[in-house]
Amino acid sequence: MMLKSGFTKLEMLVAATLLSTLFAVASPLFARLNQVWHSTRWYQLASQELMNQMETITQLSHEECTAAIEKLAIAPEILDAIPGAELSGKIVPSSDGDRIVLSLQLPASVRSEPIILVGWRHGPVMAGEGLNREAIQ
């Protein structure tokens, strides 16, 4: 009696079916993973851009701050990476100082709501205001 080594046609057909099913299930998962990766990267870039803008604006005087808000612009590198992004800002006066609200709208395919960052710009401390050093000691 002769022993056969190798695979039968049926075993090859089952293996090919299992592999093609695996590829059919895995392909959309890899496509979605790539989409999520790009979306996350854009969100990180947008958040960093908002933080950079906020850091710059909060260091300015009230007049300079108002002028800077009026001419807000996204850095060219960010605009190249995230086409269609829109940056806006406003100053909301409050008793504690100016509240600065920056908003960056990403393309709708990435995120429907804007990314919002809020910061405060406190005016200069007037003579006689501020820390009561006698109360601390």
- Is pTM beyond 0.75? Reply is no
Lowest-confidence pick of 35-39, 87-91, 109-113, 115-119: 109-113
What domain count does the chain have? 1
With tokens 């009696």, the residue in question is 1
pLDDT at 10 over 80: yes
3 in any annotated domain: no
In a domain, 4, yes or no: no
Are 72 and 53 in contact, with CB atoms under 8 Å apart?
A: yes
Is residue 1 in a domain? no
| Rounded Cα distance, 42 and 13, in Å | 44
* C-alpha span between 56 and 46 (Å, rounded): 16
pLDDT digits (tens, 9 = 90+) for 39-98: 888 889 999 999 999 999 988 888 888 899 999 999 899 888 888 889 999 998 888 788
Closest CA to 104 of 63, 53, 70: 53
Read off φ and ψ for residue 132, nearest 5 degrees.
-90, 95
Structural domain boundaries enclosing 63: 9-136
